[in-house]
Structure 1
Amino acid sequence: MERSARPADLARRVKAQRRHAVSDGFKRETFALPRPAAREKAKEWFARFPKAAYQTEIESWRELDDGRIEFTIRRLPSAD
């Protein structure tokens, strides 16, 4: 994955790394996919880990220069 050198992009990455370093109990995964594949991946996660049980959420997303969507999705590790 090619990284942009723009200051705003760097700041976003640093902020995201800090947020992920906090142990808040959530599992996170970041993807960078073409828009249709990103939409399908999010649907898969919400089907596999329903929001009501796992608090699944798209934590952040952005469109990359090449048109792909980079997003981080989080969920609780297990449902009670």
Structure 2
Amino acid sequence: MGLVDQPVQAWADAQGRPAAFLWRGVRRRVVEILDEWRELGRWWEGDPPEERYVYRVRTEDGGVYEIEYRRPAGRWFLYKVWD
């Protein structure tokens, strides 16, 4: 498993879930969402929390990735690549 935590361009389906993303110049199509959950950032520090919608996905090339949609930034991030 490798930590990436970089912004990526992504395309969502009608439910707002990732359908594809661009990483290292390759467009990777999501064929299966393996798991999904929601996390809140450091709410205990008193700042407005960063909300993350996290998806563990499998792409058509067989890769497994963890991709997040972060609010309020309104951006997608590739968080992890699973070996």
What TM-score do the two structures reach when normalised by structure 2?
A: 0.30
**Structure ID, larger Rg:** 1
Higher strand share: 2
What TM-score do the two structures reach when normalised by structure 1?
A: 0.30
Higher helix share: 1
